Amino acid sequence: MKTMKKAIVLLLMLAMALSLAACGSQSAAPAAEPQSPGEAAPADENPAPVEEEKILVVYSPATDAQVNAVVPLFEERYGIKVEVITGGTGELLARIDAEGDAPYCDVVFGGGESSYAEYRHVFQDYVSSEDANLIESCRNTLGYCTNYNLDCAILMYNNDLIGDLEINGYMDLLQPELKGRISSADPTASSSAMMHIETILTDFGGLTLENEEGWDIVSQLIYNLDGKLASGSSAAWKAVADGEMTVVLTYEEAGISLARDGANVTIVYPEEGTVLTPSTIGLVNNCKHPENGKLFIDFVLSQEIQNIFCNELDVRPVRDDVNYPDYFRPASNIKTVPLDQQYVNEHKAEIVDKFTEVYQSTF
């Protein structure tokens, strides 16, 4: 009887032990799950969605030609779907600013350095792996933006009308024989025409409102314009291409396009010096796809895309190891002068007013 009781006790103890082991096993299972909705699960149990890894959002004030040349190639090359939202530089940067710590955009493609500087806080620093391949003056020294193409102020004359006159720089435009034969847009309405006024001031005494030497040359130029100002930048260079005027103050892209199309014109980079005005690209702070954004910036600066800019879009590249067409002079062979962009930004309205005053007092 005692033996049977002992056996029953042993069986009960074994049953209790098995029950406790089962309970312990059940309570341990949930420990592998996240403790709260915000706690991340192990990477192998919750991999990042593939669609998030293959997305890039670009805000762009660049031309349609530039966007269409770059984006489809990038998508094809890397299998990354790019959403492009276009608009003015200020408008797009203000939108990113309003989006705060959760920006919709990853990269801003286009616009000028001065605009980026105003919204410095919406960008993160990124120096591209292609940076060392850029022209030295175009390399990233600011961190938050990189130059990706350039434009500059040029002179252009009609070969059939120039005769024995020589045009090498701004001082040659003051020759009496050219009075009434010079074409220019109105600098108060045309950014390319105002770029020439800013360049002249920079070349002769400095970009200030008080520069008497520079403004005197502007006055002499106005006198030789004989009061004639074209309705816009395209009307100004078209007058020379069509043989109505002898020489024009214009911008490089227009001159390159005309030369490429076979117009009988000659492009002149002012011997006193011209300014190279860059377009920039930058990576947005706190963006969702930073690695894709860096890849896009590298792609825009690559030799392949810079060749497309140069040979197909008539846009000056920021690297010299491209196949320049015969009609496109490498930037390293052009005399350039630095433009005080900050001064322009701070005194733009006053410069316009000063030009108007000088123009009116010339006649």
Q: Which amino acid is at 317?
A: P
Smallest Cα–Cα separation from 63: which of 184, 122, 151?
A: 151
What is residue 8's predicted lDDT score, i.e. its pLDDT?
40
- Token pair listed for 327: 């009609």
CA dihedral 308, 313, 319, 323 (to 10 degrees): 60
Q: What is the pLDDT of residue 170?
A: 98
Give CA–CA dist 351/209, Å, rounded.
7
Instruction: Give the whole-angstrom CA distance, residue 285 versus residue 225.
Output: 48
Residue 337: per-residue pLDDT: 92
Q: C-alpha 113: how far from its chain's center?
A: 8
Q: Which two tokens stand for residue 34?
A: 């996240």
161/21 Cα distance (integer angstroms)? 103
What's the pLDDT at 278? 84
282-309 pLDDT per residue, tens: 999 999 999 999 999 999 999 999 999 9
Residue 225, amino acid:
L
What is residue 159's DSSP assignment? T
Query: For the domain 51-149+277-328, what is the CATH superfamily, name and number?
Result: Periplasmic binding protein-like II (3.40.190.10)
Largest CA distance in the chain: 138
The stretches in the chain having pLDDT less than 70 are: 1-52
**pLDDT score recorded for residue 181:** 97
- The pLDDT value recorded for residue 52 is 52
The CB-side HSE value for 51 (13 A sphere, CA atoms) comes to 0
The reply to whether domains 51-149+277-328 and 151-276+337-362 share a CATH topology is: yes
The CATH H-level superfamily of 151-276+337-362 is Periplasmic binding protein-like II (3.40.190.10)
- Residue spans of the domains in the chain: they are 51-149+277-328, 151-276+337-362
Give the model's pLDDT for residue 109. Answer: 96
pLDDT at 30: 38
Which tokens go with 146?
């990189």
| DSSP conformation letters of 252-275 | HHHHHHHHHTT-SEEEE--TT-BP
